[in-house]
Copies of this chain bind each other. A is one copy, B any other.
């Protein structure tokens, strides 16, 4: 069981650490990359058969609100990952293959400054996703034509 610091943090915020929550946290942590809700549910259920899908949803939303996990929209489906501890990152999601790529925060600094200066609009760039077509799929598409 890693993520001891996350547990301390949650306890400090008055979040009760139930077996279900620990299990879901572990599942998300072990699921390298990004897991969908149903995948988290299925895996957690293997360890604890009474696990309820409603608990999974409630727990993931709680973790998201607490900043412990990050939600990434991949083609209409929500995926979850443990929040990047050393500096947040963003995502580029390919609409063709569904692949998710990380994007360092630097690339958004200027965009953010522009919106602030021009519109006094403070964008949420902590959890930012841009969809598009990745380089691999671009090559494939060209090959088809």
| A interface residues, Cβ below 8 angstroms from B | 92, 94-95, 101, 103, 107-108, 110-111, 114-115, 118-125, 128, 130-135, 138
CB within 8 Å for A107 and B118 given contacts A123-B92, A128-B130, A132-B123: yes
In the complex the two chains form, is B115's CB within 8 Å of A101's CB? no
Residues of B within 8 A of A110 (CB): 110-111
Whether A115 pairs with B130 at a CB distance below 8 angstroms is yes
Interchain CB contact under 8 A, A122 and B115: no
Is the contact region of chain A dominated by helix, strand, or loop, or is it mixed? mixed
- A92-B121 Cα distance, complex, nearest whole Å: 8
Residues of B within 8 A of A92 (CB): 115, 119, 121, 123
- Residue of B108, B121, B135 near A120 (CB, 8 A) is B135
Pick the residue among B108, B119, B131, B135 that contacts A101 (CB under 8 A). Answer: B119
Task: Kindly report which residue of chain B lies nearest to residue A110, judged by CB atoms.
Answer: B110
Is the beta-carbon distance between A123 and B115 smaller than 8 angstroms? no
Nearest neighbor of A118 in chain B, beta-carbon distance: B107
**What's the nearest-Cβ distance from chain B to residue A76, in Å?**
11
